[in-house]
Amino acid sequence: MASDSHDFDLFTIGAGSGGVRASRMAALTGARVAVAEDGALGGTCVNVGCIPKKLFVYASHFADDFGDAAGFGWTVGDRSFDWPRLLANKNREIERLNGVYARLLDGAGVTRFAGRATLVDANTVEVAGRRHRAANVLVATGGWPSLPDVPGIEHAVSSNEMFHLPALPARAVVVGGGYIAVEFAGILHGLGVAVTQLYRGPLFLRGFDDDVRHTLAEEMRKRGVDLRFQARVARIERAGDERRVVLEDGSVVVADAVLYATGRRPLTAGLGLERVGVETGPDGAIVVDAWSRTSVPSVWAIGDVTDRIQLTPVAIHEAMALVRTLFGGVPTKPDHEDVASAVFSQPPVATVGLTEAQARERHGDVVVYRSTFRPLKHTLTGRDERTMMKLVVDRASDRVVGVHMVGADAAEIVQGLAVAVKMRATKADFDATIGIHPTAAEEFVTMREPD
């Protein structure tokens, strides 16, 4: 614990998922803890990320559900979509969650400060003109959308603004090839928007398994999303209410809204890190060691601001490891191996472990099992959609080192399989497991013939 010369044992800057968890759990050990936040509690995930995004994904699925109903004997009458109503309902839920976070912090005895916090020195934080001494300072300020310096970029919006658009556009251009771009392309298309997605590379979702990337591109095009790869934006022009996206090849895409989802940067500017001597990388990410400690011994950092793995559960995991290290008497390194993730695209993607390319690089000789099939549901709907599942196995140990899926309920299925991968299950273990029939998930335990 801190000496009496300190006001707090831990002062957290940023009340997102990682900052709230670290603050709350540290306080429950008896530590004196404060947290400062200049926005809404819950950070990106709660306010302009995972939660509202998933709610939008649910909303966008109803068009498919209505269309598929006829194959099962249902007649669906007139229908329409009310964007303002969705926004209002979403906002109400987010405000509820903001309140939940406040109650969790207050209930644990955490002192909350509303305002932007900056580091004055290695043990002093200033908020709204008041200075507070702390034995340890935790920076958990997350990330922020990064827009490139393209002429006319002021006519585009980031993912933050997408959650508050006053009106749903009839036509939209989504620029980017990461998970945010892919997810919003699916959301907007599902809500009836004509969507063109532009990506400067040859194939989107860089870093994912190639079979996942190819399968998702094919399925999105089947649905009617205009995917254009090797497409570089030269400038954006505005003509009245329209936006004209001019590409380097001279072609033009006209839309009512342009979303730029070309990456996020750690939110470190103006925190006083340079003054204190905290080392940051070229993109502003805070450099930390294996225990989340910065170059200044009393300053720590977790979550997206460190740009290790930008996922909410990872930030929470890092927070728990930090609390054990500082207040539990058990120095604990966060474990970033075999972290499962999902893209709530349409159809969705989920993955855990190594891609085929990574597995070949790390293990050399690998065995790949791959299955593509038409889901049972669509034998009656007539929808031309295929599911892809893939296992990557290290031949020497027979261990399943990668699991990949594109298809309905992918995230729910792969979450369970992530336990098996983390436990170093073998292909023989998968083969010995009896499937649940009829499900798509059973395919993962019935694949016998390698590619």
Q: For residues 242 and 171, give the distance between their C-alpha atoms in angstroms, rounded to a whole number.
A: 9
Residues with catalytic function: 437
User: What are the distances in angstroms from CA 22 to CA 26, 297, 373?
Assistant: 6, 18, 44
Would you tell me how many other CB atoms lie within 10 Å of the CB of residue 157? 18
Q: What does the angle CA 167 – CA 171 – CA 175 come to, to the nearest 5 degrees?
A: 100
Residue type, 99: G
CA end-to-end distance (rounded Å), the chain = 57
* Cα–Cα distance list, 10 to 27, 118, 193 (Å): 9, 14, 47
Angle at 307 between CA 302 and CA 310, to 5 degrees: 85
The CB-based long-range contact list for 323-326 (8 Å cut-off, 24+ gap) reads 323/22, 323/25, 323/26, 323/29, 325/291, 325/292, 326/9, 326/10, 326/26, 326/31, 326/136, 326/300
CA distance 229 to 407: 22
Strand runs labelled E in 187-326 = 194-199, 226-229, 233-239, 242-247, 252-255, 257-260, 264-266, 299-301
**Selection from 85, 95, 77 nearest residue 59 by Cα:** 85
Amino acid identity, position 433: T
Nearest alpha-carbon partner for 370 in 221, 219, 210, 220 = 210
Identify whether the C-beta of residue 402 lies closer than 8 Å to the C-beta of residue 390. yes
Which of 117, 124, 120, 104 shows the shortest CA–CA distance to 41?
104
